[in-house]
Structure 1
Amino acid sequence: MTISWTAAHVAAIPSSPIVIAPIADKDFAPVAFNLGIWDAWPIQRRDGAPFANAAGGELWMALGAPRFDDPDARHGHARIHLLRHEDGGWSDLGPAMPDGFSPGSREWSGSAIVDDATGDVILYFTAAGRRGDNGLTFEQRMFSARASFGDDDRLADWRDLCEVIPPMPDWYMPTTGGGAIGTIKAYRDPAYFRDPADGRHHLFFAGSLAGTASAFNGVIGVATAPADRPDDWTVQPPLIVADDINNELERPHVVFHQGRYYLFWSTQAHVFNPKGPIGPTGLYGMVADMLSGPWHPINGSGLVFANPHEVPAQSYSWMVLPDLRVTSFVDNWGGGGRKRRFGGAFAPFVQLWLDGDAAGVAA
């Protein structure tokens, strides 16, 4: 069932929404010298729990690139890095996939799970552009690939590269056109979820609605696979549609909590239709009793929480974990001044609370 996120929902955002705490320089540290990271996700079990190595450390992935004077330049150099999180600190294990393996010129966001049947890691990711592109293009394709654990938690023997969500032009707009940051069309960010009710597998992703006249046509799409055939994916029509409202419903993902399904996404103020209404940069979501819906906006509007008013772009790309911890990265932090201050590091985790259709930040 397709549900619309409407102007009435966005207009219902209170003038003083729930906000997260301001970030100071003492609150974060780079993962590695001259490496900026942003969108991040843990390697998870199929039930959503983060995977831990033999020593109890968590293994994560994040987009990473060298630091540039213009932070937006990082998108043209993005690689998925493998990270280890232990004893409260982060260490960079380098690019997760070997050079030349990805079919894209860059690697954008996705998700990763451990296959209980084989012990392999399955990575779902976005290939941006095509390897060998002459110039920067914004075509996006979604792939899966398998790897085995090697020495020192690194991943080896990458194989079984497959375009897991093929183009569906009747529902989702192609991404072969040009564009600038914030205006390009989406077919990216595959996020895995297994439904505890029936064992079926799902990949949620960010897309753009086909067949609309509006430039603000963001949607959340989904592909499904039977419980006993987890690699047999079928692409479905859009689940959430923000036509004429918002251009990008980024990094959608689902958390099952106390018998309900919570579908979260991130979006930024500058990708709302300027004709309004306009919401703040923040974490948004809907809730349902079944994955098929109907879905209802959390807090009546869809906004879960926003950045502080004085630093409206301080963090971004939130991901809610099953224990309701929320990770993100430090974006333009510090407020004031005209120079952009890109953090490029993990922001402090936020603890969420959920109660039916309501949500907020734990004190």
Structure 2
Amino acid sequence: MTNLTFWTANHVAALTDGDVSCTARIAVQDVIPICDELGIWDAWPIQHVDGHPYRLPEGREIWMALGAPRFDDPDDRHGHARIHLILREAQGWRHLGPAMPETFSPGSREWSGSAVVGDDGMTVTLYFTATGRRGEAIPSFEQRIFSAEATLDGVFGDPRLIDWRGLREIVERDPAHYMSTLQGPAIVGQIKAFRDPAFFRDPIGGSDYLFFAGSCASSQSSYNGVVGVAVADKAAPTGWSTISPVISADGLNNELERPHVIHRDGFYYLFWSTQKHVFDPAGPVGPTGLYGMVSEHLLKGWRPINGTGLVFANPPEAPAQAYSWLVLPDLSVTSFVDDWRVDGDRSFGGTFAPFVRLKLQGDNASLEG
């Protein structure tokens, strides 16, 4: 079991203008679409078990990202999301098409996850969120966490994933700790969470974990986000056991999205993304940014990074320009371009934002450069 750590209003209230580290303003030349007809967001590389991206010949990397056609209202993309393959090469990013066959996924759409390549360099395990149910007449916000395997093919050309198999729901919701995703309002930003599984192999103990975004079952607040955990367990029916959350923002914030862990210099760092509009407006409200905690132990003893939890934010002149940050083991950080213009109607970038890099020193984190 875990020892629960609370991210509280007192932590966020301690933020001052001088404490907020901000990324650079995204410029027009930074917004390079992957392809004209597709907007992408929430991205992750196919990784080794240690978290480092798996590299093909010539240093190329295979990434996954959520993708959908471009809509007049960018929020409509969530109802059409599918996981896509994207090749990262010296010339930039190149779209390779949907990751899974059209009829394979059990949801009406697919949301975020992570992917790990096996020791054979060919078997890829995808952990992902199936949202809704295939064939449902009205898309729901039900979220279930699945895994599936595929074989990596074409590594010397355009790689693809073939022979998809082994689809199974692996993280069972424990109602004592995690609220049903059918309980929340069907409104983006207010829905409840049971999603975003991020794989982590503990280099100390050797066990495998999935960290995910959840909602507190016993909460009396509409703002009840938690970071949940499942641990690999061969004795469990699905091969994974769901354990109690490690981080709670109950009464503060509704969504601790895409939580993930890296281990560096003897410390565990747990990061998540959240947005200004999902904080409880009655309390202190933090900026849209990357947040996190640090500990010497994986399942207990977490402390807010920088004393507040905030690692960095978007610049105040473009407070929603990027989102969904993912910290890689080399401390490079990816995200996607969200609402990057502030001089008119909402402008959804729908592509990779420029990478940034972190500096970590004990409980403190900052942007490099």
- Under TM normalisation by the shorter chain, which class is it? over 0.9
1:334: how far off? 2.1
Whichever residue aligns with residue 307 of structure 1, its letter is: N
Question: What pairs up with 1:49-64 in 2 under 5 angstroms?
Answer: 49-64=52-67
Question: Structure 2 CA distance, aligned partners of 1:117 and 1:223?
Answer: 25
Partners of 2:124 and 2:152 within 8 A in 1: yes
**Residue 41 of structure 1: aligned partner:** 44
**Residue 332 of structure 1: aligned partner:** 339
Describe the superposition over 1:168-205 as per-residue Cα deviations: whole angstroms up to 9, x where unpaired: 11110001244201000000000000000011000000
**Residue 360 of structure 2: aligned partner:** 354
SS across alignment from 1:236: strand
**Residue 321 of structure 1: aligned partner:** 328
**Residue 314 of structure 2: aligned partner:** 307
Partners of 2:234 and 2:240 within 8 A in 1: no
SS across alignment from 1:287: strand
Query: CA 1:157–1:362 in structure 2 vs 1: closer, same or farther (change >3 Å)?
Result: same
Partners of 1:282 and 1:307 within 8 A in 2: yes
> Which of 233, 243, 250 is matched with 2:250 structurally?
243
Whichever residue aligns with residue 244 of structure 2, its letter is: P
**Residue 97 of structure 1: aligned partner:** 100
1:73: how far off? 0.5
Partners of 1:282 and 1:303 within 8 A in 2: yes
Question: What pairs up with 1:120-139 in 2 under 5 angstroms?
Answer: 120-139=123-142
**Residue 184 of structure 1: aligned partner:** 191
1:32: how far off? 1.0
Tell me the TM-score normalized by structure 2.
Answer: 0.96
After TM superposition, what 4+ stretches of structure 1 lie above 2 angstroms from structure 2? 226-229
**Residue 252 of structure 1: aligned partner:** 259
> Which of 213, 238, 248 is matched with 2:220 structurally?
213
SS across alignment from 2:261: strand
SS across alignment from 1:215: coil
Partners of 1:200 and 1:226 within 8 A in 2: no
Whichever residue aligns with residue 61 of structure 1, its letter is: M
Question: Structure 1 CA distance, aligned partners of 2:292 and 2:247?
Answer: 10
Describe the superposition over 1:232-271 as per-residue Cα deviations: whole angstroms up to 9, x where unpaired: 2111101100001000000000011111100000000000
Whichever residue aligns with residue 334 of structure 2, its letter is: T
Question: Structure 2 CA distance, aligned partners of 1:33 and 1:309?
Answer: 29
Count of paired positions: 361
**Residue 202 of structure 2: aligned partner:** 195
1:227: how far off? 9.5
Whichever residue aligns with residue 359 of structure 2, its letter is: W
**Residue 173 of structure 2: aligned partner:** 167
Whichever residue aligns with residue 204 of structure 2, its letter is: A
Question: Structure 2 CA distance, aligned partners of 1:5 and 1:190?
Answer: 20
Partners of 2:172 and 2:241 within 8 A in 1: no
SS across alignment from 1:55: helix
Describe the superposition over 1:208-251 as per-residue Cα deviations: whole angstroms up to 9, x where unpaired: 0002110000000000125999x721111011000010000000
**Residue 345 of structure 1: aligned partner:** 351
1:115: how far off? 1.4
Query: CA 1:44–1:144 in structure 2 vs 1: closer, same or farther (change >3 Å)?
Result: same
Instruction: Give the stretch that moved more between structures: 6-15 or 56-65.
Output: 6-15
Question: What pairs up with 1:102-121 in 2 under 5 angstroms?
Answer: 102-116=105-119, 119-121=122-124
Partners of 2:173 and 2:242 within 8 A in 1: no
Partners of 1:76 and 1:136 within 8 A in 2: yes
SS across alignment from 1:18: coil
**Residue 150 of structure 1: aligned partner:** 153
**Residue 12 of structure 1: aligned partner:** 14
Question: Structure 1 CA distance, aligned partners of 2:205 and 2:368?
Answer: 31
Whichever residue aligns with residue 355 of structure 1, its letter is: Q
SS across alignment from 2:249: strand
Partners of 1:81 and 1:96 within 8 A in 2: yes
> Which of 220, 225, 229 is matched with 1:222 structurally?
229
* Contiguous gaps of at least 5 residues in structure 2: none
Partners of 1:199 and 1:227 within 8 A in 2: no
Question: Structure 1 CA distance, aligned partners of 2:50 and 2:31?
Answer: 29
SS across alignment from 1:243: coil
Question: Structure 1 CA distance, aligned partners of 2:233 and 2:71?
Answer: 44
Partners of 2:233 and 2:241 within 8 A in 1: no
Query: CA 1:228–1:91 in structure 2 vs 1: closer, same or farther (change >3 Å)?
Result: farther
Whichever residue aligns with residue 13 of structure 2, its letter is: A
Q: CA RMSD in A?
A: 1.4
Question: Structure 2 CA distance, aligned partners of 1:69 and 1:215?
Answer: 29
**Residue 25 of structure 1: aligned partner:** 28
Whichever residue aligns with residue 63 of structure 2, its letter is: W
SS across alignment from 2:58: coil
Instruction: Give the stretch that moved more between structures: 7-16 or 289-298.
Output: 7-16
1:335: how far off? 1.8
1:150: how far off? 2.1
Question: Structure 2 CA distance, aligned partners of 1:241 and 1:248?
Answer: 10
Question: Structure 2 CA distance, aligned partners of 1:226 and 1:271?
Answer: 34
Partners of 1:221 and 1:237 within 8 A in 2: yes
Partners of 1:44 and 1:113 within 8 A in 2: yes
**Residue 89 of structure 2: aligned partner:** 86
SS across alignment from 2:244: coil
